[in-house]
């Protein structure tokens, strides 16, 4: 394609606020489902980028028409966008620094064992208080002294 043909194709797809490009993309986006307005904007931008690349790379000697070539490129780009978007939702960091090793990324001051012990202690404290309420005054004194470390003979 020469320069004027490329410009004509771009003009056809981009005139009237990208009407023809949006008509091509809308059914593809609907099949994806669960798309917010922000995602629509992102997907239309991706389609516009695919259009630009397709115009540059299309070879008229190919067995397909330009519209089929463009449609396939848009489909692939949409699939990549959705895959990458979903990957970020389910990964811990959303991105990975190439300089860091996995061990460095996992390193943290967070101590799960400490959290579990605190929660178990809190539950135990509640249970002890409930148990203590059921005891007589003298029994509570004995239990309190035993919890403080006194032995039977010392009490």
Distance in angstroms between the alpha carbons of the first and the last residue of the chain: 100
Is it the case that residue 101 has pLDDT exceeding 70?
no
Nearest Cα to Cα of residue 46 among 19, 11, 82: 82
Residues 91 and 115 in one domain: no
pLDDT (average), residues 74-79: 93
Residues 26 and 84 in one domain: yes
Residues 86 and 140 in one domain: no
Specify if 102 maps to a domain: no
Asked if 53 and 74 touch (Cβ cutoff 8 Å), the reply is no
Is it the case that residue 81 has pLDDT exceeding 80?
yes
Global model pTM greater than 0.85: no
Residues 69 and 140 in one domain: no
Residues 59 and 88 in one domain: yes
> Which two structure tokens, joined as six digits, stand for 103?
């061990």
> Which two structure tokens, joined as six digits, stand for 90?
């389910």
Number of H helices, E strands in the chain: 6, 0
Residue 55 vs residue 84, higher pLDDT: 55
Residues 83 and 127 in one domain: no
Residue 67 vs residue 112, higher pLDDT: 67
Is it the case that residue 72 has pLDDT exceeding 90?
yes
The rounded distance, in Å, linking the Cα atoms of 66 and 59 is: 9
Residues 18 and 51 in one domain: yes
| Total of domains in the chain | 2
* 3-state SS, residue 138: helix
Residue 100 vs residue 73, higher pLDDT: 73
Residues 47-58 pLDDT 10s: 999 999 999 998
Domain encompassing residue 38:
3-95
Specify if 39 maps to a domain: yes
């Amino acid at each position: 394609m020469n320069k004027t043909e490329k410009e004509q194709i771009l003009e056809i797809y981009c005139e009237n606020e990208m009407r023809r490009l949006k008509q091509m993309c809308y059914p593809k986006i609907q099949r994806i489902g669960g798309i917010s307005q922000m995602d629509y904007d992102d997907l239309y931008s991706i389609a516009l980028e695919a259009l630009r690349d397709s115009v540059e790379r299309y070879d008229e000697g190919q067995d397909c028409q330009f519209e089929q070539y463009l449609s396939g490129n848009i489909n692939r780009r949409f699939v990549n966008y959705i895959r990458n978007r979903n990957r970020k939702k389910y990964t811990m960091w959303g991105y990975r620094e190439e300089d860091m090793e996995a061990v460095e990324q996992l390193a943290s001051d967070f101590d799960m064992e400490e959290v579990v012990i605190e929660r178990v202690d809190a539950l135990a404290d509640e249970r002890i208080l409930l148990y203590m309420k059921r005891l007589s005054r003298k029994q509570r004194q004995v239990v309190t002294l035993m919890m403080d470390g006194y032995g039977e003979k010392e009490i």
